[in-house]
Amino acid sequence: MKQRVVFIIGASSGIGLATAQKLADAGNVVYCGARTPCPDERITSLEVDVTKPQTIVDASEKILDETGRIDQLVYCAGYSMAAPVEFAEEKDYRYLFEVNFFGALAAIRAVLVHMRESGYGRIVLIGSMGGVLPIAYDAFYSSSKAALLMLGKELNMEVKPFGIKATTVLPGGTATRFTFKRNVYSAEQVGVYGSDLDKSVGSLAGIEQGGMEAEKVADTVIKALEADNPPSVIASGFVNKTYYLSQKIFPDKLTQYLVSNQYNLN
Protein backbone atom coordinates (compact mmCIF):
# COMPACT_ATOMS: atom_id res chain seq x y z
CA MET A 1 0.00 0.00 0.00
CA LYS A 2 1.25 3.47 -0.84
CA GLN A 3 2.18 5.49 2.23
CA ARG A 4 -0.74 7.66 3.25
CA VAL A 5 -1.32 10.53 5.64
CA VAL A 6 -4.18 9.47 7.89
CA PHE A 7 -6.10 11.63 10.35
CA ILE A 8 -7.93 9.52 12.93
CA ILE A 9 -10.24 11.32 15.31
CA GLY A 10 -10.54 9.25 18.45
CA ALA A 11 -7.33 7.19 18.20
CA SER A 12 -6.39 7.33 21.88
CA SER A 13 -8.18 4.07 22.71
CA GLY A 14 -10.40 1.28 21.41
CA ILE A 15 -11.07 0.84 17.71
CA GLY A 16 -9.35 4.10 16.82
CA LEU A 17 -6.13 3.12 18.59
CA ALA A 18 -6.12 -0.36 17.05
CA THR A 19 -6.61 1.17 13.60
CA ALA A 20 -3.88 3.75 14.14
CA GLN A 21 -1.38 1.11 15.25
CA LYS A 22 -2.07 -1.14 12.27
CA LEU A 23 -1.70 1.79 9.89
CA ALA A 24 1.56 2.84 11.56
CA ASP A 25 2.80 -0.76 11.31
CA ALA A 26 2.29 -0.49 7.54
CA GLY A 27 4.44 2.65 7.36
CA ASN A 28 1.74 5.30 7.09
CA VAL A 29 1.91 8.75 8.68
CA VAL A 30 -0.81 8.73 11.33
CA TYR A 31 -2.26 11.58 13.36
CA CYS A 32 -4.60 11.24 16.32
CA GLY A 33 -7.10 13.97 17.13
CA ALA A 34 -8.47 13.57 20.65
CA ARG A 35 -8.64 15.15 24.10
CA THR A 36 -6.35 12.41 25.39
CA PRO A 37 -3.01 11.79 23.63
CA CYS A 38 -2.49 8.51 21.80
CA PRO A 39 -0.30 6.16 23.89
CA ASP A 40 1.64 4.99 20.81
CA GLU A 41 4.58 7.34 20.24
CA ARG A 42 4.65 6.61 16.50
CA ILE A 43 1.34 8.44 16.18
CA THR A 44 1.31 12.23 16.39
CA SER A 45 -1.29 13.50 18.85
CA LEU A 46 -3.18 16.73 18.28
CA GLU A 47 -5.61 18.12 20.84
CA VAL A 48 -9.14 17.95 19.47
CA ASP A 49 -12.48 18.39 21.20
CA VAL A 50 -15.06 17.25 18.66
CA THR A 51 -17.75 19.39 20.27
CA LYS A 52 -15.64 22.40 19.23
CA PRO A 53 -15.35 22.26 15.42
CA GLN A 54 -12.57 24.84 15.27
CA THR A 55 -10.22 22.40 17.03
CA ILE A 56 -10.80 19.95 14.18
CA VAL A 57 -10.08 22.65 11.60
CA ASP A 58 -6.91 23.70 13.46
CA ALA A 59 -5.67 20.11 13.66
CA SER A 60 -6.35 19.57 9.95
CA GLU A 61 -4.42 22.71 9.05
CA LYS A 62 -1.48 21.60 11.19
CA ILE A 63 -1.37 18.25 9.41
CA LEU A 64 -1.45 20.03 6.05
CA ASP A 65 1.34 22.38 7.14
CA GLU A 66 3.50 19.42 8.17
CA THR A 67 2.75 16.95 5.37
CA GLY A 68 1.02 18.87 2.60
CA ARG A 69 -1.91 16.48 2.45
CA ILE A 70 -4.57 14.46 4.25
CA ASP A 71 -5.31 11.30 2.30
CA GLN A 72 -7.62 9.50 4.66
CA LEU A 73 -9.95 10.42 7.52
CA VAL A 74 -11.28 7.98 10.11
CA TYR A 75 -13.88 9.23 12.59
CA CYS A 76 -13.98 7.06 15.73
CA ALA A 77 -15.19 9.46 18.43
CA GLY A 78 -18.27 8.21 20.24
CA TYR A 79 -20.46 8.68 23.30
CA SER A 80 -23.28 6.56 24.71
CA MET A 81 -25.98 7.11 27.33
CA ALA A 82 -28.43 4.64 28.83
CA ALA A 83 -31.60 6.56 29.63
CA PRO A 84 -35.32 6.36 28.87
CA VAL A 85 -36.54 8.86 26.31
CA GLU A 86 -39.03 10.32 28.79
CA PHE A 87 -36.44 11.33 31.38
CA ALA A 88 -33.32 11.94 29.30
CA GLU A 89 -31.87 15.41 29.88
CA GLU A 90 -31.51 17.72 26.91
CA LYS A 91 -27.92 18.62 27.73
CA ASP A 92 -26.98 14.92 27.60
CA TYR A 93 -28.60 13.97 24.31
CA ARG A 94 -27.45 17.17 22.63
CA TYR A 95 -23.88 16.44 23.77
CA LEU A 96 -24.22 12.90 22.40
CA PHE A 97 -25.20 14.19 18.98
CA GLU A 98 -22.36 16.72 19.05
CA VAL A 99 -19.87 13.88 19.55
CA ASN A 100 -21.39 11.15 17.40
CA PHE A 101 -22.81 13.12 14.48
CA PHE A 102 -21.93 16.80 14.33
CA GLY A 103 -18.28 16.14 15.17
CA ALA A 104 -18.09 13.73 12.23
CA LEU A 105 -19.73 16.32 9.99
CA ALA A 106 -17.20 18.95 11.08
CA ALA A 107 -14.31 16.56 10.39
CA ILE A 108 -15.60 15.72 6.92
CA ARG A 109 -16.02 19.39 6.05
CA ALA A 110 -12.52 20.15 7.33
CA VAL A 111 -10.80 17.71 4.96
CA LEU A 112 -13.01 17.64 1.87
CA VAL A 113 -11.55 20.64 0.08
CA HIS A 114 -8.03 19.22 0.34
CA MET A 115 -9.11 15.76 -0.81
CA ARG A 116 -11.12 17.20 -3.67
CA GLU A 117 -8.18 19.27 -4.89
CA SER A 118 -5.85 16.27 -4.74
CA GLY A 119 -8.30 14.00 -6.57
CA TYR A 120 -8.14 11.30 -3.90
CA GLY A 121 -9.62 10.67 -0.48
CA ARG A 122 -10.96 7.96 1.75
CA ILE A 123 -13.35 8.69 4.62
CA VAL A 124 -14.35 5.99 7.10
CA LEU A 125 -17.02 6.66 9.70
CA ILE A 126 -17.33 4.27 12.63
CA GLY A 127 -21.03 3.64 12.85
CA SER A 128 -22.72 0.84 14.77
CA MET A 129 -25.12 -2.02 14.31
CA GLY A 130 -27.11 0.09 16.77
CA GLY A 131 -27.75 2.46 13.88
CA VAL A 132 -29.50 -0.38 12.05
CA LEU A 133 -31.06 -2.33 14.93
CA PRO A 134 -32.18 -0.35 18.01
CA ILE A 135 -30.34 -0.70 21.31
CA ALA A 136 -32.74 -0.83 24.25
CA TYR A 137 -32.56 2.32 26.39
CA ASP A 138 -29.88 3.77 24.13
CA ALA A 139 -32.26 5.52 21.72
CA PHE A 140 -30.09 8.58 21.23
CA TYR A 141 -26.96 6.59 20.45
CA SER A 142 -28.88 4.46 17.94
CA SER A 143 -30.43 7.57 16.40
CA SER A 144 -27.08 9.32 16.04
CA LYS A 145 -25.51 6.28 14.39
CA ALA A 146 -28.46 5.95 12.02
CA ALA A 147 -27.94 9.59 11.05
CA LEU A 148 -24.23 8.95 10.55
CA LEU A 149 -25.00 5.98 8.31
CA MET A 150 -27.23 8.06 6.07
CA LEU A 151 -24.71 10.91 6.00
CA GLY A 152 -22.05 8.54 4.70
CA LYS A 153 -24.33 7.08 2.04
CA GLU A 154 -25.37 10.47 0.70
CA LEU A 155 -21.84 11.86 0.90
CA ASN A 156 -20.71 9.25 -1.59
CA MET A 157 -23.05 10.64 -4.21
CA GLU A 158 -21.57 14.11 -3.81
CA VAL A 159 -17.85 13.30 -3.73
CA LYS A 160 -17.60 10.36 -6.13
CA PRO A 161 -16.69 12.61 -9.11
CA PHE A 162 -13.64 13.86 -7.19
CA GLY A 163 -12.06 10.49 -6.42
CA ILE A 164 -13.29 10.45 -2.82
CA LYS A 165 -15.06 7.47 -1.27
CA ALA A 166 -16.86 7.30 2.08
CA THR A 167 -17.60 4.13 4.00
CA THR A 168 -19.49 3.58 7.24
CA VAL A 169 -18.17 0.60 9.18
CA LEU A 170 -20.71 -1.12 11.42
CA PRO A 171 -19.22 -2.91 14.42
CA GLY A 172 -21.49 -4.80 16.75
CA GLY A 173 -20.53 -5.43 20.35
CA THR A 174 -16.81 -4.76 20.71
CA ALA A 175 -14.69 -5.40 23.80
CA THR A 176 -13.31 -1.95 24.65
CA ARG A 177 -13.42 0.49 27.54
CA PHE A 178 -16.37 2.18 25.82
CA THR A 179 -18.65 -0.11 27.84
CA PHE A 180 -17.48 1.43 31.08
CA LYS A 181 -17.64 5.04 29.90
CA ARG A 182 -21.36 4.93 29.12
CA ASN A 183 -23.47 7.54 30.91
CA VAL A 184 -25.95 5.33 32.77
CA TYR A 185 -28.83 7.14 34.44
CA SER A 186 -29.48 6.31 38.08
CA ALA A 187 -32.63 4.75 39.54
CA GLU A 188 -33.62 8.16 40.88
CA GLN A 189 -33.43 9.63 37.38
CA VAL A 190 -35.40 6.96 35.53
CA GLY A 191 -38.34 6.20 37.84
CA VAL A 192 -40.60 3.40 36.59
CA TYR A 193 -38.09 2.39 33.91
CA GLY A 194 -35.44 1.37 36.45
CA SER A 195 -35.79 -2.40 36.30
CA ASP A 196 -35.84 -2.63 32.51
CA LEU A 197 -32.98 -0.16 32.17
CA ASP A 198 -30.82 -2.23 34.53
CA LYS A 199 -31.52 -5.39 32.52
CA SER A 200 -30.79 -3.59 29.29
CA VAL A 201 -27.50 -2.09 30.48
CA GLY A 202 -26.32 -5.44 31.84
CA SER A 203 -27.21 -7.23 28.62
CA LEU A 204 -25.48 -4.59 26.50
CA ALA A 205 -22.32 -4.80 28.61
CA GLY A 206 -22.27 -8.56 28.11
CA ILE A 207 -22.78 -8.22 24.37
CA GLU A 208 -19.92 -5.72 24.12
CA GLN A 209 -17.40 -7.41 26.38
CA GLY A 210 -18.16 -10.80 24.84
CA GLY A 211 -17.99 -9.39 21.33
CA MET A 212 -15.33 -8.67 18.74
CA GLU A 213 -11.82 -7.47 19.47
CA ALA A 214 -11.05 -3.90 18.45
CA GLU A 215 -8.28 -5.22 16.20
CA LYS A 216 -10.82 -7.15 14.12
CA VAL A 217 -12.86 -4.01 13.54
CA ALA A 218 -9.65 -2.18 12.66
CA ASP A 219 -9.04 -4.77 9.94
CA THR A 220 -12.42 -3.87 8.43
CA VAL A 221 -11.56 -0.17 8.57
CA ILE A 222 -8.25 -0.71 6.83
CA LYS A 223 -9.89 -2.88 4.18
CA ALA A 224 -12.19 0.06 3.37
CA LEU A 225 -9.28 2.51 3.30
CA GLU A 226 -7.26 0.33 0.93
CA ALA A 227 -10.05 -0.62 -1.48
CA ASP A 228 -10.21 1.02 -4.88
CA ASN A 229 -14.00 0.96 -4.78
CA PRO A 230 -15.15 0.36 -1.19
CA PRO A 231 -18.84 -0.15 -0.40
CA SER A 232 -20.67 2.67 1.33
CA VAL A 233 -21.50 0.35 4.26
CA ILE A 234 -19.55 -2.59 5.71
CA ALA A 235 -20.71 -4.63 8.68
CA SER A 236 -17.66 -5.90 10.55
CA GLY A 237 -17.58 -9.64 11.18
CA PHE A 238 -19.72 -12.55 10.00
CA VAL A 239 -22.33 -12.26 12.76
CA ASN A 240 -22.87 -8.56 12.16
CA LYS A 241 -23.10 -9.10 8.41
CA THR A 242 -25.83 -11.65 9.10
CA TYR A 243 -27.69 -9.20 11.36
CA TYR A 244 -27.33 -6.44 8.78
CA LEU A 245 -28.83 -8.59 6.05
CA SER A 246 -31.58 -10.00 8.26
CA GLN A 247 -32.93 -6.58 9.23
CA LYS A 248 -33.62 -5.96 5.53
CA ILE A 249 -35.71 -9.12 5.35
CA PHE A 250 -37.46 -9.50 8.71
CA PRO A 251 -40.69 -7.59 9.45
CA ASP A 252 -40.28 -4.75 11.94
CA LYS A 253 -42.39 -6.48 14.58
CA LEU A 254 -40.20 -9.55 14.47
CA THR A 255 -37.05 -7.45 14.61
CA GLN A 256 -38.32 -5.56 17.63
CA TYR A 257 -39.27 -8.81 19.36
CA LEU A 258 -35.82 -10.30 18.77
CA VAL A 259 -34.05 -7.15 19.96
CA SER A 260 -36.23 -6.95 23.08
CA ASN A 261 -35.45 -10.56 23.80
CA GLN A 262 -31.74 -9.89 23.43
CA TYR A 263 -31.97 -7.24 26.14
CA ASN A 264 -34.16 -9.40 28.42
CA LEU A 265 -37.21 -7.17 28.02
CA ASN A 266 -39.74 -9.79 26.84
The Cα-based distances of 90 to 64, 85, 94 in angstroms read 37, 10, 6
Q: With DSSP H G I counted as helix, E B as strand and the rest as coil, what are the percentages for the chain, rounded to 5?
A: 55, 15, 30
Distance separating alpha carbons of residues 255 and 199, to the nearest angstrom: 19
The Cα-based distances of 53 to 57, 104, 105 in angstroms read 7, 10, 9
160 given a catalytic annotation: no
User: 75, 79, 137, 145: which is the annotated catalytic residue?
Assistant: 145
Distance separating alpha carbons of residues 129 and 122, to the nearest angstrom: 21
141 given a catalytic annotation: yes
Backbone angles phi, psi at 195, to 5 degrees: -65, -45
Helix (H, G, I), strand (E, B) or coil at 177: coil
Pick from 230, 180, 176: which is nearest to 17 by CA? Answer: 176
Angle, vertex CA 26, rays to CA 37 and CA 110, nearest 5: 50
User: 31, 75, 93, 141: which is the annotated catalytic residue?
Assistant: 141
Please list the active-site residues: 141, 145
